[in-house]
Amino acid sequence: MSNLLALSGVNTRIGHYHILQGVDFVVPQGGFTMLLGRNGAGKTTCLRTIMGLWKASAGRIDFDGADIAGRSTPAVAQLGIGYVPESMGIFAGLTVRENLTLAARDGPIDEKRLDWMFGLFPALKKFWHLPAGHLSGGQKQMLAIARAMIEPRKLLLVDEPTKGLAPAIIAHMVEAFRELKRTDTTILLVEQNFNFARSLGDTVAVMDSGRIVHSGNMGELAGNEALQYRLLGLSLDAHQ
């Protein structure tokens, strides 16, 4: 399987802080890659650096055969990368319909894709004309994901989609991602909930202190409790 995204030696500095200290990992085409790690390991910075929201001070970010490090955020998005930030970043004053219409940059929303989306997230159909700020936390997260998927994207970056959500909503989210997986969308997902990550991931990369400390198949990590404990420590306990 070829790699859609490859980071090599990526460094990111925010002010005086050296957050990413030579990150190397790959995201295979059509796969579901989980980026795991403790709080403050640099996972979110990694996604934001890929999106151009933070500029990489060194290293390469190869996406679909081109180095995108240093490109502006809109330019990165226009290459076909969808981003669901941790804060969801929905436009609270706009309706659900307007949020999705905005995300469909290339013209009107494709009806078939919209129906498919409504199948995944029925609440969005129900609250189609409601300002997004009035949705519940789970519904906002669904909208944020739907917005990144409303047009086919080559790569989807998702930052902690389960954060602060009730178990029932997380189960629904797992189903939605499984459905998405069937469409062969390549996904890089940052997560602290290992059970969630294990149920979806094909490959995994684990970060610690701004570096990748492990990468490989998810099955390998899922079957090795000692490795899990060593790499993920308390964050694993907290979510089991």
Enumerate binding residues for other proteins (CB under 8 A). Answer: 51, 53, 72-74, 77-78, 83, 85, 89-94, 98, 101-103, 105, 147
Nearer to other proteins, 44 or 203 (CB): 44
Q: How far is the CB of 83 from other proteins (least distance, A)?
A: 5
Nearer to other proteins, 78 or 136 (CB): 78
Q: How far is the CB of 99 from other proteins (least distance, A)?
A: 8
The C-alpha R_g of the chain, in whole angstroms, comes to: 17
Q: How far is the CB of 172 from other proteins (least distance, A)?
A: 23
Q: How far is the CB of 198 from other proteins (least distance, A)?
A: 28
Nearer to other proteins, 60 or 97 (CB): 97
Nearer to other proteins, 93 or 216 (CB): 93
| Burial bucket for residue 154 (CB in 10 Å: 0-12, 13-18, 19+) | middle
Reading the block at residue 212, the tokens are 């990748």
Torsion of CA 107, 110, 113, 114, to 10 degrees: 90
Nearer to other proteins, 91 or 128 (CB): 91
The dihedrals phi and psi of 124, each to the nearest 5 degrees, come to: -65, -35
| Contact call for residues 129 and 96 (beta carbons, < 8 A) | yes
- Sign of the alpha-carbon torsion through 119, 120, 126, 129: negative
Q: How far is the CB of 54 from other proteins (least distance, A)?
A: 11
Q: How far is the CB of 173 from other proteins (least distance, A)?
A: 20
Nearer to other proteins, 149 or 218 (CB): 149
Task: Tell me how far apart the alpha carbons of residues 79 and 135 are, in angstroms, rounded to a whole number.
Answer: 30
In what side-by-side order are the strands of the sheet with 211-217?
Answer: 81-84, 155-159, 186-190, 32-37, 203-208, 211-217
